């Protein structure tokens, strides 16, 4: 496992800062393995880059002499946005410059961002990276996250410059103006949008190939890495075009640094949002990208931003969720004394044994749990009424995860043996008819409005039940004696005034398994179905599809994190029941927590992490483990947690004679901290 520190383009040039940095790294062995030096930020004259590269070559040798690996970040390629005007950009931005600025669909111009198809920009960037790579010979060149087609303020979507419009028309035999192209691409699904996305991807591939080839020619042993984030579907699904370019140009597998903000720890849930973003990004990676190194972004690197504890929590979380290494933007500024950063590195060294195990556990595994059902090419969807132009770029991957992840129900974006799917109704419009038809063969957890939307798509006859909208303000759900409800049979669940929108379900063919019925305490409330067996309708049920699958459908909205234990158990047990009891890890203890199981290629449970996302001690946590990747004869696993020593021989209790199901008791976890059971032997 590698822990990387990313230095700022200013601090790395300060001899006093570098002396202090080397001092604290030496004082805390195991806290830092690699340093990313940075190219000069902005677009200065090339001579400035050459002088900077020469100076950094000496810095690189000093770092290597300390046993640190040295890589290089290209601080900008296309340009981040208008805020780059604060830097020296006189190498490209001057009166009469031939460089092409980026242009948006509305004709707006980003003066400090440039068209990736422009040969002037390409010559500048390739000459720049050649100078740095020849001088530094970095292990990896990391291209910063401005290598994207969107978010180049004030331009949101690029590039609609005159040359790009002309080239696009020429390639496709068209003669549209920029305004006509923007209208058709922004609003209409079909041939033109697909052609435009292909044009954007091809241009970015070509730009990245030239950049990567320049790196390879200057330093053949150097790897390529990409820094990026969740930028939507404007340039199609995922970033394969960029990774392919890096691999094709160098012959080496590229690396990835997924990002997504969370610059402070004022709200620990922000790291969970970022975890979901990173997991979604990782799910779209080509198979040949195996080194995943998220960035902990602590900018502006100050005491009242992100704390030592918050940084360690965030690191542990991402490693538990699939990362194999970590990078830090925490020493890019000198706003605090170096000894405070030394406290951070001291904590890293203390956490390293645990983090190393997590890195090994993530390698070659995927996250288990309810797999989010999403379209593979969401950007092809038609706009719905009322949506603005380019709304098709949005990727609705986060909402259900935000609602359910703290309940201990495991969720996944990349489960290779998905036991059950979770369908966010907003995702339905991102899926093709073929993708939906395939989903009808699989177990799915969803809400009642999904049946309505699917009926509108022409699939109403696929289900043994129907749904209609209902105001649930005066309704509550009473659990039936279905086995899913267990001891909660006869008890009630009320969404209260927090949510008063729901859906009632109606059985159509007698196959519906009722989990809950709507009732009311207000006798003045008229029944919704006065002639039916259930006056206020079915609140939740297991519904059969025409292809034999069972869907758990909740009219009393399941997208709610403030719920009772009985309600949480109903959701979890319904998902497990329709999967055929195939969830590999179940948190039996009722506590607000995030469950992160890892599974191997065969679908066996290799590890499971738990985040205690409460402000108090968790107490002992009971876990049910299925299909564990235990060595023959082994009846224990290793346990590690933040702030606790690694324990070997944490006992497991066999629950089934065939060894397919076990129980474990995880020791109590501190507030907002993680612990992990390592089931697969990692020695």
pLDDT tops 80 at residue 498 = no
Give the model's pLDDT for residue 627.
Answer: 98
For position 101, which CATH number holds? 3.20.20.80
Tens of pLDDT along 436-473? 999 999 999 999 999 999 999 999 999 999 999 998 88
- Residue 211's φ and ψ, nearest 5 degrees, are -60, -50
Query: Does 294 map to a domain?
Result: yes
Tens of pLDDT along 256-291? 999 888 999 999 999 999 999 999 999 999 999 999
Query: Does 220 map to a domain?
Result: yes
Q: Are residues 135 and 238 in the same domain?
A: yes
For position 640, which CATH number holds? 2.60.40
Q: Are residues 116 and 44 in the same domain?
A: yes
Give the model's pLDDT for residue 223.
Answer: 99
Cα–Cα distances in angstroms (integers) from residue 366 to residues 104, 306, 321, 363, in the given order: 38, 29, 9, 9
Q: Are residues 421 and 303 in the same domain?
A: no
Q: Are residues 552 and 487 in the same domain?
A: yes
For position 428, which CATH number holds? 3.40.50
Query: Does 237 map to a domain?
Result: yes
The first and second tokens of residue 48, run together, are 């400035």
- Residue 425's φ and ψ, nearest 5 degrees, are -55, -30
Q: Are residues 555 and 594 in the same domain?
A: no
Closest CA to 330 of 304, 292, 309, 300: 300
Q: Are residues 203 and 77 in the same domain?
A: yes
- How far apart CA 70 and CA 72 sit, in angstroms, is 7
Q: Are residues 291 and 358 in the same domain?
A: yes
Our separate counts of H helices and E strands in the chain read 15, 32
Give the model's pLDDT for residue 397.
Answer: 84
Q: What average pLDDT does range 339-359 have in this prediction?
A: 97
Query: Does 683 map to a domain?
Result: no
Q: Are residues 295 and 319 in the same domain?
A: yes
Number of domains in the chain: 3
Give the model's pLDDT for residue 346.
Answer: 98
Give the model's pLDDT for residue 135.
Answer: 99
Domain with 170 in it: 3-362
Q: What average pLDDT does range 179-205 have in this prediction?
A: 97
Q: Are residues 449 and 311 in the same domain?
A: no
pLDDT tops 90 at residue 381 = yes
Domain boundary among 545, 565, 581: 581
Instruction: Determine what percent of the chain is predicted with pLDDT higher than 90.
Output: 93
Q: Which residues contact 185 (CB under 8 A, 6 or more apart)?
A: 105, 192, 193, 196, 390
Give the model's pLDDT for residue 646.
Answer: 79
CA-based R_g, the chain, Å:
27
The first and second tokens of residue 148, run together, are 């994207």
Query: Does 645 map to a domain?
Result: yes
Tens of pLDDT along 142-160? 999 999 999 999 999 999 9
Q: Are residues 354 and 216 in the same domain?
A: yes
Tens of pLDDT along 85-127? 999 999 999 999 999 999 999 999 999 999 999 999 999 999 9
Domain boundary among 340, 362, 384: 362
Number of Cβ within a 10 Å radius of residue 62: 14
Q: Which residues contact 172 (CB under 8 A, 6 or more apart)?
A: 195
**Are 275 and 321 in contact, with CB atoms under 8 Å apart?**
yes
Total number of residues shown for the chain: 683
Query: Does 396 map to a domain?
Result: yes
Confidence of residue 403 (pLDDT cuts 50, 70, 90): confident
Domain boundary among 581, 610, 629: 581
DSSP assignment of 553-569, as one string? EESS-S--SS--HHHHH
Query: Does 515 map to a domain?
Result: yes
Q: Are residues 474 and 576 in the same domain?
A: yes
Query: Does 221 map to a domain?
Result: yes
Where do we find the tokens 């696009």? 168
pLDDT tops 80 at residue 500 = no
Give the model's pLDDT for residue 147.
Answer: 98
Mean pLDDT of the chain: 96
- How far apart CA 628 and CA 205 sit, in angstroms, is 42
Q: Are residues 571 and 458 in the same domain?
A: yes
């Amino acid at each position: 496992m590698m822990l990387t520190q990313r230095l700022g383009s200013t601090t790395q040039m300060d001899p006093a800062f570098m002396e202090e940095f080397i001092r604290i790294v030496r004082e805390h062995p195991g806290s830092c393995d690699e340093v990313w030096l940075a190219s000069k930020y902005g677009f200065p004259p090339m001579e400035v880059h050459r002088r900077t590269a020469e100076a950094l070559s000496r810095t690189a040798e000093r770092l290597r002499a300390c046993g640190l690996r040295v890589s290089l970040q290209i601080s900008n390629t296309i340009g981040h946005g208008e805020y780059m005007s604060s830097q020296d950009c006189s190498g490209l931005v001057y009166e009469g410059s031939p460089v092409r600025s980026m242009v948006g669909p509305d004709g707006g111009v980003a003066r400090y961002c440039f068209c990736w198809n422009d040969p002037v920009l390409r010559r500048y960037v390739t000459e720049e990276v050649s100078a740095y790579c020849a001088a530094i010979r970095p292990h990896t060149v990391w291209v910063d996250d401005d290598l994207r087609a969107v978010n180049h303020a004030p331009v949101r979507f690029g590039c609609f410059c005159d040359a790009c419009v002309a080239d696009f028309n020429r390639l496709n035999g068209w003669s549209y103006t920029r305004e006509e192209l923007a209208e058709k691409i922004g609003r209409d699904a079909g041939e033109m949008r697909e052609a435009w996305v292909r044009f954007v991807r091809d241009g970015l591939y070509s730009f990245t190939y030239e950049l990567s080839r320049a790196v390879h020619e200057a330093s053949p042993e150097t790897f390529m890495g990409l820094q990026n984030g969740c930028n939507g579907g404007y340039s199609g699904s995922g970033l394969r075009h960029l990774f392919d370019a890096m691999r094709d140009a160098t012959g080496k597998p590229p690396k990835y640094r997924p990002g997504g903000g969370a610059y402070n720890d004022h709200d620990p849930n922000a790291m969970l949002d970022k975890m979901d973003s990173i997991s979604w990004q990782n799910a779209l990676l080509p198979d040949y990208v195996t080194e995943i190194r998220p960035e902990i972004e602590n900018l502006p690197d100050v005491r009242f931003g992100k704390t030592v504890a918050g940084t360690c929590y965030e690191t542990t979380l991402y490693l538990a969720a699939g990362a194999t290494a970590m990078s830090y933007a925490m020493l890019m500024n000198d706003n605090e004394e170096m000894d405070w950063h030394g406290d951070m590195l001291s904590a890293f060294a203390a956490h390293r044994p645990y983090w190393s195990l997590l890195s090994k556990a993530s390698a070659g595994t995927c996250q288990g749990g309810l797999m989010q059902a999403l379209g593979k090419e969401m950007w092809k969807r038609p706009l719905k009424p009322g949506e603005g132009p380019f709304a098709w770029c949005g990727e609705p991957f986060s909402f259900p995860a935000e609602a359910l992840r703290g309940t201990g129900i495991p969720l996944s974006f990349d489960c290779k043996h998905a036991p059950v799917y979770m369908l966010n109704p907003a995702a339905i419009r991102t899926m093709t008819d073929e993708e939906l038809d395939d989903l009808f063969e699989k177990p799915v957890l969803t809400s009642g409005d999904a049946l309505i939307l699917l009926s509108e798509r022409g699939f109403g006859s696929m289900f043994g039940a129907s749904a209609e909208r209902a105001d649930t303000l005066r309704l509550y759900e009473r659990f039936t004696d279905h086995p899913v409800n267990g001891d909660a049979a006869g008890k009630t669940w009320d969404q209260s005034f927090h949510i008063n929108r729901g859906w009632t379900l109606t059985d159509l063919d007698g196959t519906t398994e009722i989990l809950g019925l709507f009732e009311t305490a207000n006798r003045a409330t008229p029944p919704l179905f006065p002639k039916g067996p259930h006056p206020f309708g079915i609140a939740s049920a297991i519904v059969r599809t025409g292809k034999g699958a069972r869907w758990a459908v909740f009219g009393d909205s399941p997208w709610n994190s403030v719920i009772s234990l009985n309600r949480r158990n109903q959701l979890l047990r319904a998902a497990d029941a329709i999967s055929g009891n195939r969830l590999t890890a179940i948190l039996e203890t009722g506590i607000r927590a995030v469950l992160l199981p890892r599974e191997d290629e065969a679908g066996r449970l290799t590890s499971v992490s738990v985040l205690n996302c409460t402000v108090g001690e968790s107490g002992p946590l009971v876990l049910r483990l299925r299909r564990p990747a235990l060595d023959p004869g082994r009846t224990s696993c290793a346990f590690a947690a933040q702030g606790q020593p690694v324990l070997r021989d944490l006992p497991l209790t066999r629950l089934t004679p065939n060894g397919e199901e076990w129980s474990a008791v995880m020791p109590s976890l501190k507030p907002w901290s993680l612990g992990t059971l390592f089931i697969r032997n990692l020695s």
